């Protein structure tokens, strides 16, 4: 049993993605690699424009071409490279093996189809079942996400934001996928509703044994449900490891800066320590460390080359010239 | 000496199926140079409260007294003279700036309307000063808002609010559209400006860690009413109202240690349209009794110096955790017993 928990569900290897725009080439993802195992809840943390959502869309083969160009790298789902799949094969992966919860539940649902039918639709698409059986499954899913079965025939507009997100989650989990990608699933929700939805995601994840990738800007959510975590800056993973690595022994100046700029609830701080400067322009990345301009610890050395991701402890990677081996 | 007194302020909106009680009998006073944080979830009336105080919308009842003058009863002309003293920073720096004006024009606009600068040269100089104050590099003076990122845009919003030397600024979620690393920069800027210019802030937000950081006093709102009011540090040390407890415990803490015991609240905000006479939180409250559901709205009572709570059972429930309150009422172990009305 122990072994099956460490089976990789998804392997992303050296992924490089560019968008071609009128203002130049946006280097959105620059050599990202990670693996998500069956038992993992993997947090992908970063700020606006870091490339988090692009990575997720690439994992589902959903990036529009053009303007997107996958320059190199691969995404393997269950051992199969999705680049090599035909559109029909991809169709079978999406929703069945990997599904996604989008940020905005208001726009993720079809406004003119009853919510129950939207769940049944996925089931019918992926499994050879009759309409009645699919509807039965949809009813079960609705109950599982805490919506009364009487509401099966209601339209999305009759539901609150939290309820809509529950429906989206029901759709995502209806075919028992191996990996669920949740892209800022609670950002549009109030904090008390967020707590409810998060609890439900946790419960369902454990029940279905689904691996989870959580995309967020909120370290609070990561602490809440993840066991592994990667911090993304300018399309690169700057630090990756277990949540203990990231929260208790962060090394990258950006990770540390992010933690310091969050006002604390249990300590009284007079003044916050923001990360200086602005988020870097992804059309104009330097050949050296892309955090250089905002870093308080940078030296001339940092301009000489782009540091690589170094393993500083077992499974803990840091992309910085000055990364130190743990325990020294 | 309070700069602002809000007395029994009400703002109702007629809607097709009744009357929406957006702000319902809110009273507080605010001293000059202080920051009042207003927190609550979407739909609790916190933004409407801010707008009604500035008379961007007229109150249904109640008074807003700013430096001794009742804002709502002033005639248009008198009010026009008062407006420069009371300004607002808006939530969305993407929607609150005219896309066809340059940064320089945007910041000059309030001063042109009020003709505060004697000459064009003086105006230009003041715009430069303001850009400097909010740390916007002068190279952006001729840029348009779409060319700037969220943090810089919000700085334009702040510069506009400062242009007429206000005394009171209502900040309506000024940092919620910004990334955390930029959010911290803007929060520091707001604090520096307060110190240097002696500003008074009303800071409306849903983010508890931000409000704790910036406020002197905090009011917690639920469906248009204040349920708890206390000095900021005191509120986070000791909170009494069941809603405040649930709200604070729902915040995800960015740390693996000292994780709080979570009180998961059931149900969602009930409707602010024709709300019942009783305690508005009753339907979601773990401690609610029949009396709470049938009685009147509980008044704010002082539980500690400067700390007010609106709850019928405030004294009895302080030491009972929500789970055992639910268990007492026959709910299975650990499961919450309360449901939305």
- Cα A204 to Cα A208: distance, rounded to the nearest angstrom: 6
Asked if residues B167 and B136 have their Cβ atoms less than 8 Å apart, the reply is no
CA distance A254 to A291: 8
Of the three residues B189, B222, B255, the one that is the final residue of a domain is: B222
A29-72 residue pLDDT tens: 999 999 999 999 999 999 888 888 899 999 988 888 788 889 99
Give the pLDDT of residue B282: 87
Instruction: State the average pLDDT over residues B207-236.
Output: 93
Report the C-alpha gap between A130 and A114 in whole angstroms.
Answer: 18
Structural domain includes residue B207:
yes
Instruction: Judge if B89 and B135 occupy the same domain.
Output: yes
Residues B179, A291: Cα–Cα separation, whole Å: 16
Q: Kindly indicate the confidence band of residue B16, based on its pLDDT and cuts at 50, 70 and 90.
A: confident
| Enclosing domain of residue B318 | 241-328
Q: What is the mean pLDDT of residues B18-35?
A: 94
Pairwise CB contact (< 8 Å): A198 & B252 = yes
Residues B68 and B190 in one domain: yes
Whether residue B269 is found in the same domain as residue B305: yes
Q: Choose the weakest-confidence range: B10-24, B123-137, B222-236, B274-288.
A: B274-288
Same domain for B211 and B300, yes or no, is no
Query: Most A CBs within 10 Å: which of B42, B139, B181, as the mutation test of the A interface?
Result: B181
In a domain, B152, yes or no: yes
Based on the domain organization, do B193 and B257 belong to the same domain? no
Would the CA dihedral through B182, B188, B192, B197 be positive or negative? positive
Q: How many Å apart are CA B99 and CA A272, to the nearest integer? A: 31
pLDDT value for A2 = 46
For residue A138, the model assigns a pLDDT of: 94
B340 has pLDDT over 50: no
Question: Taking a C-beta distance cutoff of 8 angstroms, is the pair B278, B294 a contact?
Answer: yes
Alpha-carbon separation of residue A185 from A23, A44, B15, B176 (angstroms)? 31, 13, 31, 17
Residue A315 φ/ψ region, left for φ over 0, alpha for ψ in the -120 to 50 degree band, beta for the rest: left
Provide the pLDDT for residue A1: 42
Q: Is residue B17 part of a domain?
A: yes
Question: What digits encode the pLDDT tens for the residues B129-169?
Answer: 999 888 888 889 999 998 888 888 999 999 999 999 999 99
Say what the pLDDT of residue A75 is: 92
B265 contacts A274? CB cut-off 8 A: no
The verdict on B60 and B8 lying in the same domain is yes
Q: Are residues B165 and B262 in the same domain?
A: no
For the residues B112-141, what does the mean pLDDT come to? 92
Q: Single out the residue of A201, A213, A134, A215 nearest to residue A173, CA to CA.
A: A201
Q: Is the dihedral of CA B286, B287, B292, B294 positive or negative?
A: positive
Q: Is residue B128 part of a domain?
A: yes
Q: Please report whether residue B74 resides in a domain.
A: yes
What is the model's pLDDT at position A276?
86
Same domain, B249 and B217: no
Give the nearest partner residue to B179 out of A263, A264, A279, using CB atoms. Answer: A279
CA distance A235 to A290: 10
B231 occurs within a structural domain? no
Residue A160 is predicted with a pLDDT of 81
Is residue A197 within 8 A of residue A186, CB to CB? The reply is yes
Nearest C-alpha in B relative to A265: B209
Q: Check whether B24 has a pLDDT greater than 60.
A: yes
pLDDT category at B329 given cuts 50, 70, 90 is low
Cross-chain residue pair B256–A247, CB shorter than 8 Å:
yes
Which value does ipTM take for this structure? 0.81
Per DSSP (E only), the strands in B232-339 are 301-304, 307-309
- The residue among B178, B193, B222 that closes a domain is B222
**Structure-token pair, residue A201:** 């995601």
DSSP annotation of B253: P
- The chain B residue lying nearest A268, using CA atoms, is B213
Residue B18: is its pLDDT beyond 80?
A: yes
Report CB contact under 8 Å: A223, B253: yes
Q: What is the pLDDT along chain A (328 residues), one digit of tens a residue?
A: 445 677 889 999 999 999 988 878 889 999 999 999 999 999 999 988 888 889 999 998 888 878 888 999 999 998 889 888 888 888 888 888 899 998 888 888 999 999 999 999 999 988 889 999 999 999 999 988 888 888 899 999 888 888 898 899 999 999 889 999 999 888 878 888 888 888 889 988 998 899 999 999 899 999 999 999 999 999 999 999 999 999 999 999 999 999 998 888 877 778 888 888 887 888 888 899 999 989 988 888 888 888 999 999 999 999 998 988 887 6
Same domain, B283 and B313: yes
Asked if the structure places residue B28 within a domain, the reply is yes
Does the distance separating the beta carbons of B256 and A191 come in below 8 Å?
no
Contacts of A240 (CB under 8 A, 6+ apart): A34, A228, A229, A230, A231, A246, A309, A316, A317
Nearest to B233 by CA among A273, A220, A269: A269
> Can you give the pLDDT at residue A3?
55
Q: Are strands B69-70 and B86-89 parallel, antiparallel or unpaired?
A: unpaired
Number of domains present in the structure of chain B? 2
* Tally of CA atoms within 13 A in the half-sphere of A61 that contains its CB: 22
Are A14 and A237 in contact, with CB atoms under 8 Å apart? no
If asked whether residues B118 and B28 sit together in one domain, one would say yes
Judging contacts by C-beta atoms under 8 Å, the chain B residues touching residue A271 are 188, 191
Contact (CB<8Å) B254/A47: no
Cβ–Cβ below 8 Å for B179 and A274: no
Same domain, B179 and B51: yes
Per-residue pLDDT band for B341 (boundaries 50, 70, 90) equals very low
From A194's Cα to the closest Cα of chain B, the distance in A is 8
Query: For residue A284, what pLDDT is reported?
Result: 85
Strands B35-39 and B200-205, how do they pair? parallel
B341 found inside a domain = no
| C-beta separation of A306 from A288 below 8 A | yes
- CATH of residue B206: 3.40.50.300
Please give, rounded to a whole number of angstroms, the shortest distance from the CA of B130 to a CA of chain A: 19
pLDDT of the residue at B272: 84
With contact defined as beta carbons under 8 Å apart, do B298 and B279 qualify?
yes
Mind telling me how many Å the CA of B291 is from chain A's nearest CA?
25
The residue of chain B with its CA nearest to that of A195 is B250
- Residue where a domain terminates, one of B195, B222, B249: B222
A272 contacts B265? CB cut-off 8 A: no
Count Cα atoms within 13 angstroms, Cβ side, for B312: 18
Name the strand (E) or helix (H) holding B121.
Answer: helix B120-133
**Residue A316 phi, psi dihedral angles, 5° rounding:** -105, 115
Task: Write out the two tokens for B195.
Answer: 């110190």
User: Looking at the structure, do residues B166 and B286 belong to the same domain, yes or no?
Assistant: no
């Amino acid at each position: 049993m122990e072994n099956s928990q460490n089976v990789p569900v998804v392997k992303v290897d050296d992924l490089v993605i560019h968008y071609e725009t009128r203002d130049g080439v946006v280097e959105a993802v620059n050599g990202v690699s990670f693996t998500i195992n069956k038992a993992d809840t993997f947090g992908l943390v970063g700020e606006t424009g870091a490339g988090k959502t692009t990575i997720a869309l690439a994992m589902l083969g959903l990036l529009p071409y053009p303007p997107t160009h996958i320059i190199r790298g691969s995404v393997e789902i269950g051992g199969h490279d999705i680049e090599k799949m035909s559109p029909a094969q991809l169709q079978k992966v999406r929703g069945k093996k990997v599904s996604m919860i989008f940020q905005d539940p208001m726009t993720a649902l079809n406004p003119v189809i009853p919510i129950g039918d939207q769940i049944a639709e996925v089931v019918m698409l992926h499994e050879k079942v009759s309409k009645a059986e699919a509807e039965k499954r949809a009813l079960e899913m609705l109950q599982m996400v805490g919506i009364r079965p009487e509401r099966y025939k209601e339209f999305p507009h009759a539901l609150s934001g939290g309820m809509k997100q529950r429906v989206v989650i029901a759709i995502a989990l209806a075919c028992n996928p191996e990996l669920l990608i949740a892209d800022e699933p609670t950002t549009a929700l109030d904090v008390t509703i967020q707590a409810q939805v998060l609890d439900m995601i946790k419960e369902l994840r454990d029940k279905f044994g689904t691996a989870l990738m959580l995309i967020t800007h909120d370290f609070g959510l990561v602490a809440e449900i993840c066991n592994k975590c990667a911090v993304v800056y300018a399309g690169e993973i700057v630090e990756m490891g277990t949540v203990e690595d990231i929260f208790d022994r962060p090394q990258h100046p950006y990770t540390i800066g992010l933690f310091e700029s969050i006002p604390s609830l249990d300590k009284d701080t007079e003044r916050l320590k923001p990360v200086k400067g602005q988020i870097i322009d992804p059309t104009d990345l330097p050949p050296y460390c892309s955090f250089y301009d905002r870093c308080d610890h940078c030296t001339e050395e940092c301009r000489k080359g782009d540091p690589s991701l170094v393993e500083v402890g077992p499974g803990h990677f840091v992309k910085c010239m000055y990364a130190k081996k743990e325990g020294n | 000496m309070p700069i602002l007194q809000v007395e029994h302020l009400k703002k109702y909106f007629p809607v097709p199926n009744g009357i929406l009680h957006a702000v319902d009998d809110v009273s507080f006073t605010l001293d000059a140079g202080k920051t009042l944080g207003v927190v609550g979830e979407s739909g609790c009336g916190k933004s409407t409260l801010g707008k009604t105080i500035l008379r961007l919308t007229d109150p249904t009842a109640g008074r807003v007294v700013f430096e001794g003058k009742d804002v709502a009863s002033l005639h248009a002309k008198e009010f026009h003279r008062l407006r420069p003293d009371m300004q607002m920073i808006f939530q969305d720096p993407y929607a609150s700036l005219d896309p066809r004006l340059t940064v320089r024009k945007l910041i000059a606009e309030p001063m042109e309307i009020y003709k505060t600068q004697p000459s064009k040269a003086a105006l230009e100089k003041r715009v430069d000063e303001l850009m400097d104050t909010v740390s916007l590099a002068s190279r952006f003076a001729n840029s348009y808002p779409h060319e700037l990122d969220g943090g810089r845009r919000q700085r334009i919003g702040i510069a506009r609010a400062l242009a007429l030397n206000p005394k009171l600024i209502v900040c309506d979620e000024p940092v919620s559209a910004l990334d955390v690393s930029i959010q911290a920069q803007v929060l520091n800027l707001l604090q520096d400006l307060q110190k240097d210019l002696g500003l008074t802030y009303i800071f409306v937000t849903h983010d508890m860690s931000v409000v704790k950081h910036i406020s002197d006093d905090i009011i917690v709102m639920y469906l248009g009413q204040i349920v708890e009011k206390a000095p900021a540090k005191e509120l986070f040390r000791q909170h009494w109202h069941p809603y405040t407890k649930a709200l604070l415990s729902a915040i995800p803490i960015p740390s693996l240690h000292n994780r709080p015991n979570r009180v998961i609240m059931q149900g969602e905000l009930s409707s602010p349209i024709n709300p019942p006479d009783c305690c508005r939180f009753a339907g979601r409250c773990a401690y609610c009794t029949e009396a709470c559901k049938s009685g009147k709205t509980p008044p704010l009572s002082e539980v500690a110096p400067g700390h007010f709570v609106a709850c019928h059972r405030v004294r009895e429930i302080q030491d009972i955790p929500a789970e055992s309150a639910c268990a007492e009422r026959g709910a299975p172990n650990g499961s919450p017993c309360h449901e939305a009305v």
